[in-house]
Each structure stands twice: as structure tokens, then as C-alpha cells.
Amino acid sequence: MDRIAKFLAYEGRVSLICANTTQLIEEIRKLHDLTPTTTAVLGRFSTISGMMGFTEIKEKDDFLSIQLNGKGPVGTLVSIVRREEETSKIKVSIDNPYVELPLKSNGKLDVGGAVGTNGFLNIINKNEITDSNYTGLVPLVSGEIAEDFTEYFAKSKQKPTVVALGVLVNKDGVKASGGYMIQLMPDATEEDIVNIEKALEKAPAISEMIDKNKSLEEIAKIVTGDENVLILAQELSLKYECDCTRERFERGLISLGKDELSKIIEEDEMADTVCHFCNKKYHFSKEDLEKLLKEIK
Ligand SMILES: [Zn+2]
């Protein structure tokens, strides 16, 4: 079962969030009809997006809009993250879900090759009511996603962070998926850092630990090297939710402008739109489109 929990290590000088996202990523794999390669790509991206709902969203009505594009074959990855109390709600999209690359020489799925490295990670933290926003933009490091987010936290947020993400895929789908984020508080000591580095050297991959049914608390102890981690919150959850509406697609059609919309009415006599986050279809008949056309001044 999916779980997500927050911990403190080294007497509060280090914070940590750990997630088992196996069910969520299987749900996303089916929804977007992903290949093994794009399951790993979108699985890693969705896991970190979901965890950031708990570390980055502090105010009510805040949401995150995350875009990652490395000019690789999968195109742009997008996630929108909202937070409702103890639940982080995400929706994600990928330009090309059908990309499949040969395994790398180490036997792993080629996430970096699919994402590409010639691009940016762009994260916008926005408030729906006040419209205030914070934008962080960093060039990609490797396209492997975890390293790219680590760079974001270091460069854009000045917050030393270790991000680890992993998805195990077999022929039936997602076997194990998860991730963790370790963040150093300002009072973290050199000794804490050395201890964590030593622990991480020995720690198995996150997907492997989840596959072996290790609990999040066990994982927290393994990756920090602190036997006395403190559980801060363990009733957290991650949920896939799309909030698209017909009205939003109407606004999209109106925003095409008078000329473009008239052309669609003349040539196609209807429009079928699809939500990239949930694949829901919205059909607009000729009459619907003519009504929208009248709304354009
Ligand atoms: Zn939708």
C-alpha cells in the first residue's frame, strides 16, 4: 500500500520525507499508457512532485506547477501539485508516452536518455487567490530527475537536499516505486553530513528497499544512519486528481481568437478536445462552437 511519512533525524537537525508510491505510479502507467521507460520517467517525476506537496506548499491555496524539459524524446513533463491537509494531490502529463529505449549497460531503464539533458527544470509556486508566485529555474544536470531536483534545491532554494527516486518495472507493470528527500537544517553539523554520506554509500536503491517491503521508518534509518529517527507525520497520502472542466476547454477555444475558431467551424464543423492530465474527452458540436464564437468580441 502507498504510504508517505515525514521524519526528523539527528535530534531535529535533519528532516526527511519518504514515500512508497507503487500504487500511484501503476495508476499513472495505466492512465497514460506508458512504456517501461516512460513509466520510470513519469514515475520518478510524479513521486518527487507528490513529496514536494508536503515540503513546499505551506499556505492554503498555494499550488506548484513543475515543468521539466531536456529536449529528449519524451518532450515536456508537467505536474500540478495541490495540498489538502494531509493529502498531496497531483496530476501529470508527458508529451510522448510511447518512447521506449534500450536498457543502459548497467541494466537500468534509460531515464536520462529519454528526458535529455539540454534543458531546464522550472518550478512555480503560486497562490491561487493572491496570484503571488515564486519561480525557480535551473538547467538540467543529467535528466535522471533526482539529480536535477537536487540541483534545484541547492541552487534555487539554497537548501542542501538529497533526492533519491526509483521505479522498478516488470512485464506486469510497476513492481515498486518510491523516493526520499533528506534536507539539512541550518544547524546541521559536519558530523551529521559525514554520517549521512556514509549511510547513503551503503544504502540499497530506494526501489529495491520498497520491493523488499522495508517500512518507511526502516528506510529513514538506513538512509540517514540515525537509529533514533523521530516520526513527524505518518498519515500522509498521495492522490491523483484532475480538476479539468468543460468550462476550461471552452475558455481555451475562445482564446484561439475569432479567425482560428471560425476556421475550425468551417473546416471541421466540430472540435474534440482531450485533457492531457486525465485523457477525458470534451466534444464541442458546431452549435457549441458557434455559441463560443459569439462570445468573442
Ligand atoms: Zn483532466
Per-residue pLDDT of the chain (297 residues; tens, 9 = 90+): 799 999 999 999 999 999 999 999 999 999 999 999 999 999 999 999 999 999 999 888 899 999 999 999 999 999 999 999 999 999 999 999 999 999 999 989 999 999 999 999 999 998 888 878 889 999 999 999 999 999 999 998 889 999 999 999 998 999 999 999 999 999 999 999 999 999 999 999 999 999 999 999 999 999 999 999 999 998 899 999 999 999 999 999 999 999 999 999 999 999 999 999 999 999 999 999 999 999 887
**pLDDT the model gives residue 58:** 87
Task: Give CA torsion, residues 183, 81, 119, 15, to 10 deg.
Answer: 0
**pLDDT the model gives residue 272:** 94
Could you write out the DSSP letters of every residue in 210-226? HHTT--HHHHHHHHH--
**pLDDT the model gives residue 296:** 85
Q: What gap in Å lies between CA 45 and CA 294, rounded to an integer?
A: 41
Distance 279 CA to ligand 1 centre (A): 6
Could you give the count of Cα atoms lying within 13 Å of 187 in the half-sphere of its Cβ? 5
| 161-170 and 14-20 strand pairing | unpaired
Q: Contact, 99 vs 73, CB < 8 A?
A: yes
* 3-state DSSP assignment of residue 16: strand
Q: What gap in Å lies between CA 115 and CA 110, rounded to an integer?
A: 9
Distance 277 CA to ligand 1 centre (A): 5
**pLDDT the model gives residue 235:** 87
Could you give the count of Cα atoms lying within 13 Å of 189 in the half-sphere of its Cβ? 7
Q: What gap in Å lies between CA 180 and CA 146, rounded to an integer?
A: 10
**pLDDT the model gives residue 131:** 79
Structural domains of the chain, ranges and CATH numbers in brackets:
3-240 (3.55.30.10), 246-295 (3.90.1280.10)
**pLDDT the model gives residue 115:** 98
**pLDDT the model gives residue 132:** 80
**pLDDT the model gives residue 179:** 98
Dihedral sign computed on CA atoms, order 100, 105, 110, 113: negative
The model carries a pTM of 0.94
Distance 131 CA to ligand 1 centre (A): 22
Distance 156 CA to ligand 1 centre (A): 30
**pLDDT the model gives residue 246:** 95
Distance 282 CA to ligand 1 centre (A): 10
Distance 34 CA to ligand 1 centre (A): 17
Q: What gap in Å lies between CA 234 and CA 125, rounded to an integer?
A: 25
**pLDDT the model gives residue 249:** 95
Distance 218 CA to ligand 1 centre (A): 36
**pLDDT the model gives residue 124:** 94
